[in-house]
A and B are shown apart, each in its own frame.
Chain A
Amino acid sequence: MTEFFFNLTWLIPLFPLAAFALIVLWTNRNRLLSTWVAWIGIGLAWILGWTLFFLSGREVHSLTPPGGGHPVPLFSIPTGTTLLRLGFQVDTLTGLMLFMVPFVCLMIFIYSKGYMNYGREDVDPRYSRFFAYISLFACGMLGLVVSDNFVTLLIFWEVMGLCSYLLIGFWFDKSYKDPKRITPKQAGLKAFLTTRIGDALMLAGMLLLYSQTGTLTFREIFREETLHTLATSYAWGQVPWATLCAILIFGGAVGKSAQFPLHVWLPDAMEGPTPVSALIHAATMVSAGVYLVARTFPLFVAVEGGTQLAVVAFIGAFTAFLASTIAVAQNDIKRVLAYSTISQLGYMIAALGLGAYVAAVFHLITHAFFKALLFLGSGSVIHGVEHGHHHAPLHPSPSEGEGHGSEGEFDANDMMNMGGLLRRMPTTGWTFIIGALALTGIFPWAGFWSKDEILADAWRVFTHGGEFGVSMGWGFFVWLLLTAAALLTAFYTGRQIFLTFAGRPRTEAAAHAPESVPSMTWPLVILAAFATVLGLFGTPWANQFYALIGHQAEVMGREIAHGEFNPTVAGISTLVALSGWLIAWLIYGRKPLLVPVDPLEKALGPLYRWLKNKWYVDELYMALVIRPAIALARACYTFDDKIVIDPIVDAVGRFGRWLSEWLKKAVDNPVVDGAVNGVGQVTAWLGEFMRATQTGQVQNYLLVAAVTVLLLLAMFLIRTWGTWSVWLAFLTG
């Protein structure tokens, strides 16, 4: 029976893919039908996904890798000397992902109906296309998590990249008056190109891995002998292959999960519709990078104390800290969440870098739920404010003019335009608050358990040393940065809550913001429930997550340590979180802002500007990378086109013309014309020649006749007597 369901694994990405195809090909015009097709697609994937999750959970021990997982082979591609075997597998890690991904996707799909204004006159004109894209995306993510080899993983990875581009730039015709504001079209390109850098590194890693092992299937690469070979053979005599490949593959994770230095695309990706932000940039696609590292974890731990884990840990921790500082100075409600996502992903990556495998995956799952909740909530808020803006009375309130926004455009995302929304949108507000509590790690919400486990593991590495040779120093470094990030997280989240929901509305739009439609609020409630309850599955005393995936990294004969409850760490992190909330309340909550001016601006001064401008990383990239690239492109263009290609093309053209003229003179005229004319001339000459024989003179005819007779006689003679004998006989008489 179990066998039967596992053999249906390939259907999971197929359901939403079929939905995509159906919408694109048939139901595009019918919005209701498109919605239901998409819902059914993801719904079926959800049902099958949860089935497989429960089944895999029951069979934990028989499914453990490195050789385990329930393989469902698809087909093999012969590649010269080897065979590329492609297929799907469901082990417990995959099962966990199948628990989270289709369910969150389903929630977001349901939410999207209301968000895209179905049934109203301002329904998005490309409504069906949206559902097609998100269905295709769901196919990509689901295919990714059930892949058992790098090839299909890469394929679905790229599918997601494509959908991210399409969906970020969904409103591709939107433009802003402020030239510095990035448009959705540009944001989509930025996302694609930035992740492309990571993808290139990942591809390089995969190719090197293939060259060393001759296979791309996880099962075969993560065999103990293979890993041992990779760890002990050296590229260029210096670096172990395992380390090199691991770091390169991590490059892909850096890109996709928006870690420093490839994090710049995620905040700008907020230009896309909010369901997209929730789906792709909170719950699923960005966690694909974390999943990638988790999936290839045996490769990362193949070399004892290798640099690869250090790289991972550093980048993760640094990113967590960096992003949380930037979030403090952001006014766009979605951008705060975007930086928050980057930061939380940093947590997960850092955890992996320390070898805290279970903690990282735990946080991945919980983060997906509450971040999706937060994003959907913010979308609901934006929706409400937008509708309030359209229906507000024409005369502005005395507090300010048209509202905070650049150059007179009303920005519904700007928190400075909000305020007091808890009263106007209670469901949205309370679910948002629940999400915030989960995010900031307040007991007993989910974030507390997962974040705390990471911090506890970091502390343990610091005090006891880590498995896999991770040094204590890294443990401390990670713990410190993550704790600082936790403080900031609590602060900016609190800031967000107070600015948005507390106090009094700062604009007319906020004052008239309606609560969202049920198709939007119900997903919020459901996700909030999960955000509350989910953490309880990962408590240190009954850690289901450990039970499920703790054996994943049973490589080299080592186990991941069972996380124990550390009251010190828990206490510190709770204190830190509460402090953050307190500071936020002091600044923003006690005396709710009446004017859209952030007091932090004055307080921090130039530091505020530094943070608000994202540490000027974008500008740095622009100067160091983009401008030189464009200049180089221009130089190449000038060289190629003006100096090389144009002259060549012109020369070819000139040569062609000269050739044709020469051919005409040398060939066409003498030969072809000559032939044609020649035929005529020969005929004429022959005619003249023949005519000469018709002289009209009888004696001429007679002469010809005489000659003919002579010849005939001669022939006859020769035939009878032979040539020489004729001559001889004649000469001798």
Chain B
Amino acid sequence: MTLSVSPVIFIVLSATALLGALGVVLSRNLFRAALFLVLSFIGVAGLYILLEVEILAMIQLLIYVGAIAILIIFVIMLSRQLMSPQYRAWNQQRRGGAVVAVMLFAVLAFVLLSVTWPTAEAAVPQDAIARLGRALVAPDQFVLPFEVASVLLLVALVGAVIIAREK
């Protein structure tokens, strides 16, 4: 990609992500919200590609879109609430929540813009994926978090099965 294009691409992708997110929180229809969620995930994946971490973009698409979003849709189907006429989408504190969210964004934006981040530009190495793989299992790098995360996943799935099964 040429350097002058990346800001435009960035804007497009972030707009996708953000608009998708807005759609999630503002849709009354839950199913539509789920679909907006998928859109947002795709946008984020695009951002990852822009950040030259293609592996994570793939993982994002695979897991978030492929697994989590699908799971959410399944559960929406299973709960069938959106069909009822008294269905209310928002609770009493939506205004308060909105205020808090906006203000938080304002504060965060202010901080983020005020601070001069100590950046260091460099090129991503060619064998980034290989390095990642090695990092995940190397005993002097991140094998422990890796293993713990996998245990967590196992426990969570087992737990989920137990919680969700019919008595």
Please list the residues of chain A having a beta carbon within 8 angstroms of any beta carbon in chain B: 697, 699-700, 703, 706-707, 709-710, 713-714, 717, 721, 726, 729-730, 733
Cβ of A730 and Cβ of B110 under 8 Å apart? yes
Q: Which residues of chain A are near B107, meaning CB under 8 Å?
A: 710, 713-714, 717
Proximity bits, B48-63, A CB within 8 Å = 1, else 0: 0000000000000000
CA distance A733 to B112 in the complex (A): 11
Return 6 A-B CB contacts under 8 Å, by A number: A699-B97, A706-B97, A706-B104, A707-B100, A709-B104, A710-B104
CA distance A713 to B113 in the complex (A): 15
Cβ of B110 and Cβ of A726 under 8 Å apart? yes
Cβ of A730 and Cβ of B104 under 8 Å apart? no
Cβ of B96 and Cβ of A710 under 8 Å apart? no
B37 shortest CB reach to chain A, Å? 19
Cβ of A703 and Cβ of B96 under 8 Å apart? yes
Q: Is B119 an interface residue (CB 8 A)?
A: no
Q: Which residues of chain A are near B2, meaning CB under 8 Å?
A: none
Cβ of B100 and Cβ of A710 under 8 Å apart? yes
Starting from the known contacts A710-B104, A713-B104, 8 additional A-B residue pairs (CB-CB under 8 Å) come to A699-B97, A703-B93, A703-B96, A706-B100, A710-B107, A717-B110, A717-B111, A729-B110
CA distance A706 to B97 in the complex (A): 9
Q: Which of B107-152 contact A (CB under 8 A)?
A: 107, 110-111, 113-114
In the complex formed, the residue of A with least CB distance to B99 is: A707
B105 shortest CB reach to chain A, Å? 10
**Nearest 5 CB-CB pairs, A to B?**
A730-B110, A706-B100, A713-B107, A703-B93, A710-B104
Cβ of A730 and Cβ of B97 under 8 Å apart? no
Q: Is B4 an interface residue (CB 8 A)?
A: no
A619 shortest CB reach to chain B, Å? 108
Cβ of B93 and Cβ of A733 under 8 Å apart? no
CA distance A703 to B96 in the complex (A): 8
Q: Which residues of chain B are near A730, meaning CB under 8 Å?
A: 106, 110
Q: Is B103 an interface residue (CB 8 A)?
A: yes
Q: Is B84 an interface residue (CB 8 A)?
A: no
Q: Which residues of chain A are near B103, meaning CB under 8 Å?
A: 710
In the complex formed, the residue of A with least CB distance to B101 is: A706
Q: Which residues of chain B are near A700, meaning CB under 8 Å?
A: 93
CA distance A317 to B167 in the complex (A): 141
CA distance A713 to B111 in the complex (A): 10
CA distance A703 to B99 in the complex (A): 10
Count how many chain B residues have C-beta atoms less than 8 Å from C-beta atoms of the other chain.
14
CB-CB under 8 A for A699 and B110, given A706-B104, A710-B100, A710-B104: no
CA distance A707 to B104 in the complex (A): 9
In the complex formed, the residue of B with least CB distance to A713 is: B107
Q: Which residues of chain A are near B79, meaning CB under 8 Å?
A: none
CA distance A699 to B104 in the complex (A): 17
B111 shortest CB reach to chain A, Å? 7
B109 shortest CB reach to chain A, Å? 8
CA distance A700 to B91 in the complex (A): 10
Q: Which of B50-93 contact A (CB under 8 A)?
A: 91, 93
Cβ of A703 and Cβ of B100 under 8 Å apart? yes
Cβ of B113 and Cβ of A733 under 8 Å apart? yes
Q: Which residues of chain A are near B104, meaning CB under 8 Å?
A: 706, 709-710, 713
Q: Which residues of chain B are near A709, meaning CB under 8 Å?
A: 104
In the complex formed, the residue of B with least CB distance to A729 is: B114
A723 shortest CB reach to chain B, Å? 13
CA distance A703 to B100 in the complex (A): 8
Q: Which residues of chain B are near A726, meaning CB under 8 Å?
A: 110
CA distance A730 to B114 in the complex (A): 9
In the complex formed, the residue of A with least CB distance to B114 is: A729
B149 shortest CB reach to chain A, Å? 25
Of A699, A714, A729, A733, which is within 8 A of B91 by CB?
A: A699
Of B93, B111, B113, B114, which is within 8 A of A699 by CB?
A: B93
CA distance A134 to B97 in the complex (A): 108
Q: Which residues of chain B are near A706, meaning CB under 8 Å?
A: 97, 100-101, 104
CA distance A729 to B115 in the complex (A): 12
CA distance A308 to B107 in the complex (A): 115
A721 shortest CB reach to chain B, Å? 8
CA distance A699 to B90 in the complex (A): 11
CA distance A717 to B115 in the complex (A): 12
A728 shortest CB reach to chain B, Å? 11
Q: Which residues of chain B are near A699, meaning CB under 8 Å?
A: 91, 93, 97
Q: Which residues of chain B are near A733, meaning CB under 8 Å?
A: 113
Q: Which residues of chain B are near A697, meaning CB under 8 Å?
A: 91
B114 shortest CB reach to chain A, Å? 6
A184 shortest CB reach to chain B, Å? 103
Q: Which residues of chain B are near A729, meaning CB under 8 Å?
A: 110, 114
Q: Which residues of chain A are near B96, meaning CB under 8 Å?
A: 703
B110 shortest CB reach to chain A, Å? 5
In the complex formed, the residue of A with least CB distance to B100 is: A706
Q: Which residues of chain A are near B101, meaning CB under 8 Å?
A: 706
A480 shortest CB reach to chain B, Å? 128
Q: Which residues of chain B are near A721, meaning CB under 8 Å?
A: 114
Q: Which residues of chain A are near B91, meaning CB under 8 Å?
A: 697, 699
B100 shortest CB reach to chain A, Å? 5
CA distance A697 to B96 in the complex (A): 15
CA distance A185 to B101 in the complex (A): 107
Q: Which residues of chain A are near B111, meaning CB under 8 Å?
A: 713, 717
A682 shortest CB reach to chain B, Å? 27
